[in-house]
Amino acid sequence: MKTYLLEIVTPERKVYSDDVEMLITKAESGEIGILAGHTPLVASLAIGPLRVKKNGAEILMSIMKGFMEVTETKVVILAEAAELAEEIDIDRAMRAKERAEERIRAKEDVLDFKRAELALQRAVTRIKVSGK
């Protein structure tokens, strides 16, 4: 299968850089899959998993919002945070999930509720990605 260069970068580090056959992730507009030769585009990414296919193997990551730019030669993802499945600290994610659920139950103010919902989405995504 034809490959293309995928680079995933956060403000802190380069998370991934390699030739891949396919990626599947969650754009704000819905699930999106990119094969080599895809039409150039820019998409906003949601909080969710990212699956990469390469040589019959699958690599799983979590992406915490960002932008994806697809050009003729490569795909670049600029994410607020991103982790490979094996980098995820499951205990930390479980603690983040509990804290977020507690804040959602407390319903103190709208802004905190919204923030807690996003923190919960991040934690749930990390737990799912690290568990697969």
Residues that bind ligand ATP (CB under 6 A): 12, 64, 81, 83, 87-89, 92-93, 96, 119, 122, 126
Q: Give the gyration radius of the chain's Cα atoms.
A: 16
* 43: nearest Cα among 77, 72, 67: 67
Closest approach, Cβ 35 to ligand ATP, in A, equals 27
**99's tokens:** 């804290």
Beta strands 14-20; 4-9: pairing state:
antiparallel
Query: Is the Cβ of residue 12 or residue 72 nearer to ligand ATP in the bound state?
Result: 12
Query: Is the Cβ of residue 46 or residue 88 nearer to ligand ATP in the bound state?
Result: 88
Q: In this structure, are residues 39 and 70 in contact, taking their beta carbons and an 8 Å threshold?
A: yes
Q: In this structure, are residues 120 and 101 in contact, taking their beta carbons and an 8 Å threshold?
A: yes
Closest approach, Cβ 91 to ligand ATP, in A, equals 8
Q: In this structure, are residues 75 and 23 in contact, taking their beta carbons and an 8 Å threshold?
A: yes
Query: Is the Cβ of residue 26 or residue 126 nearer to ligand ATP in the bound state?
Result: 126
Query: Is the Cβ of residue 38 or residue 103 nearer to ligand ATP in the bound state?
Result: 103
* 114: nearest Cα among 104, 106, 105: 104
Closest approach, Cβ 124 to ligand ATP, in A, equals 10
Closest approach, Cβ 8 to ligand ATP, in A, equals 11
